[in-house]
Amino acid sequence: MTPEGIAVDPLGRFAYVANFGDSTVSGYRIDAKTGALTPLKASPFPTVNGPRLLAVDPKAEFVYVASLIGNTVSAYRIDQKSGALTQVTGSPFLTGRQPETFVASPTGKFAYVTNLDDNTVSGYSIDHKTGALTPLSTSPFATGATPDGLAVDPNGKFAYVTNANDVTVSGYSLDPLTGALTPLPGSPFRSGTDPDSVAIAPSAQFAYVTNGLDNTVSAYIIDCDGYLSPISGSPFPTGGLPFAIAITK
C-alpha cells in the first residue's frame, strides 16, 4: 500500500495513514492505555490518486489529505464515535501542482498546502461547520524552489516552508484576520542540503528542519519577529536520509 503520511487526532483517539500505492486512507483506533492500533471497521477509505501527507484539524473534526498526483486536497468529516471518514461536500479541492504538505493554523481558521511543482503555498479559509476549503483572495504565495515541509507556529503568528532545491527555509508572518502570508525580513534562511520537514516547539521559541542529504537536523531560535537564528552546535547529526520530525509537548 506504500504508507506515506500519518496523523493523530488532537484528542488521541484515532490515527490515519495515507497509502500512496492504492490511494486510500487507513484509519485506526488508539488504545489509550497501551497505544496499540486497531483498524476501524470501515477502513480503508478511498481518496484521490497519490495521497502523500495528511492532517487532522485542531478541533479533531476533519481530516485533510494532499494528493500529489491528483493536485487536490480531499476533506473528510470524522465520525466522533467510530472514527469513520465521510467526504465533505465539494471535496476534493484544487491546489497547485504536486501538493505535498497540508497544515491547519492553530485556530483551525486557515489552512496551507505546499505545491512542489509550482513553488507556491496555497492558502484557504476553513468553514468550521462543514470543513470545506475556500481559497484565500491573496493565494497562492511564492516560495523558494520545490517547497516541501510546512509548519505554523503554535501562536499562529508565523509560517515556515522548507525549499528542497534552494537549501533554504522561507519565513512568513501570518495575518490573523485574512490568513495572508507576508515574507519575513531576512527570509529565506539558510538550511542544510535537501531540507524536508520542519517542526516548531510548543513554546514557539525553536524550529527544527531535517536535511535529507546531509543526515542532519538544523535547529533555530525564533525571535519575536519570526527571524530564525541557528542554535549553537547546529546542525545536529541524525541517521541516514532524515525525512520527518516531531516534537513532544
Q: What is the pLDDT of residues 33-53, one digit of tens each?
A: 999 999 999 999 999 999 999
The reported pLDDT for the residue numbered 229 is: 98
Mean pLDDT of the chain: 96
H or E element in which residue 124 lies: strand 120-126
Rounded to whole angstroms, the Cα distance separating 222 from 207 reads 7
Full pLDDT tens readout for the chain, 249 residues: 688 899 999 999 999 999 999 999 999 999 999 999 999 999 999 999 999 999 999 999 999 999 999 999 999 999 999 999 999 999 999 999 999 999 999 999 999 999 999 999 999 999 999 999 999 999 999 999 999 999 999 999 999 999 999 999 999 999 999 999 999 999 999 999 999 999 999 999 999 999 999 999 999 999 999 999 999 999 999 999 999 999 987
pTM, 2 dp: 0.95
Fold entry, domain 157-165+184-249: Thrombin, subunit H (2.40.10)
CB 1 within 8 A of CB 21: yes
Give the single-character DSSP code of 242: -
User: 50: alpha, beta or left, given left = phi > 0 and alpha = psi -120 to 50?
Assistant: left
What integer pLDDT is reported at residue 2 of this predicted model?
Answer: 87
Domain boundaries, the chain: 157-165+184-249
- Which 3 state secondary structure label does DSSP give 110? strand
Question: pLDDT for 184-208, tens place per residue?
Answer: 999 999 999 999 999 999 999 999 9
Residue with cell 503568528: 157
